[in-house]
């Protein structure tokens, strides 16, 4: 097995490609690695119950597979019909790991749907221990004038407002030892000019994470709140929202985009009891891009 981080996974340039938003796994070239064959669990999340938004593909899919193999039951939240096949495939991996998978489709930017997600998880699992706020939208635009106002609002609805809705709905059910994990981005530290709206939301997520952590711990809730900051990760979102996806990730010090399976262990650590003294933190998984 190649353990050299520069050559461990496919290196750009990739084939030219384009997808409609939000993108699907079947059209991604090269295929992404979510740990389907490689991730081995060791019981770090035994007995825990999780919600993962954006769980049909990309980072969410890898996290779902890892969580299940670590012993957790998982409710997968995803947006729409076009993602049904990816969501069902993820559910199959969860069930193959001997865990329960629940699928819920809908827009997390709507508070009513976030409330329904929590209600469904508690009904199906009897408890809720982990909330992963991973769903996100981005769209590359050349300049300020080319960003539609509705797209700006939708980006904030999906990336940051949904996080507030889901955390608020989940808090009454989260017992001491529970964990909230938010997906921020290297863009919170080093924003990409073509991703103004997306990068702004990721900066907001950083602040939301550290602030909510203080609020919950100072209230004695025993709920930890952390974030993972991925760098450029190869998912269907990239060819559906970014120009020149064939060169995506080439500008990292490692020289390639990360694979979803390279991000999921960070979520497992933060969700596990091994991270009992970690809260308000952000764990960068950026291919060497600087986050200080």
Query: Which residue out of 39, 93, 198, 277 is catalytically annotated?
Result: 198
Ranges assigned E (strand) in the chain: 49-53, 73-78, 101-105, 128-133, 174-183, 224-230, 282-285
How far is residue 24's CA from residue 13's CA, in Å, rounded to a whole number? 20
Q: Which residues contact 225 (CB under 8 A, 6 or more apart)?
A: 179, 180, 181, 182, 209, 212, 213, 216, 279, 280
How far is residue 278's CA from residue 276's CA, in Å, rounded to a whole number? 6
Among this protein's residues, is 78 annotated catalytic? Answer: no
Per the listing, tokens 């203080």 go with 214
The 10 Å CB-count burial string (b at 16+, else e) for 13-32 is ebeeeebeebbbbeebeeeb
DSSP conformational letter for 233: B
Sign of CA dihedral 7, 194, 187, 77: negative
DSSP conformational letter for 218: H
How far is residue 275's CA from residue 269's CA, in Å, rounded to a whole number? 6
How far is residue 28's CA from residue 17's CA, in Å, rounded to a whole number? 8
DSSP conformational letter for 127: -
Task: Tell whether omega for the bond before 152 is within 30 degrees of 0, i.e. cis.
Answer: no
Q: Which residues are catalytic?
A: 198
């Amino acid at each position: 097995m190649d353990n050299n981080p520069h050559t461990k996974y496919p290196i750009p340039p990739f084939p030219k490609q384009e997808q409609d938003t939000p993108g699907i796994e079947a059209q991604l070239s090269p295929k992404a690695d979510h740990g389907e064959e490689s991730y081995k669990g060791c019981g770090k999340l035994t007995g825990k119950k999780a919600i993962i938004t954006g769980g049909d593909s990309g980072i969410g899919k890898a996290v779902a597979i890892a969580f299940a193999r670590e012993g957790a039951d998982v409710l997968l939240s995803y947006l729409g019909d076009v993602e049904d096949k990816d969501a069902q495939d993820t559910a199959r991996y969860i069930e193959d790991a001997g865990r329960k998978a629940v699928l819920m489709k809908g827009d997390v930017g709507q508070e009513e749907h976030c409330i329904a997600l929590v209600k469904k998880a508690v009904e199906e699992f009897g408890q809720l221990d982990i909330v992963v706020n991973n769903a996100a939208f981005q769209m590359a635009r050349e300049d300020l004038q080319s960003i539609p106002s509705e797209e700006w609002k939708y980006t904030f609805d999906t990336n940051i407002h949904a996080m507030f809705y889901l955390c608020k709905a989940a808090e009454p059910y989260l017992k001491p030892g529970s964990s909230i994990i938010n997906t921020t981005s290297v863009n919170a530290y080093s924003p990409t000019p073509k991703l103004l709206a997306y990068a702004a939301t990721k900066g907001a997520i950083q602040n939301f994470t550290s602030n909510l952590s203080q609020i919950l711990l100072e209230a004695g809730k025993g709920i930890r709140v952390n974030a993972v900051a991925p760098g450029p990760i190869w998912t269907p979102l990239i060819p559906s929202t970014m120009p020149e996806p064939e060169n995506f990730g080439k500008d990292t010090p490692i020289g390639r985009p990360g694979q979803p399976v390279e991000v999921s262990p960070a979520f497992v650590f933060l969700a596990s009891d091994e991270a009992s003294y970690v809260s308000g933190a952000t764990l960068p998984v950026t291919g060497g891009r600087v986050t200080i």
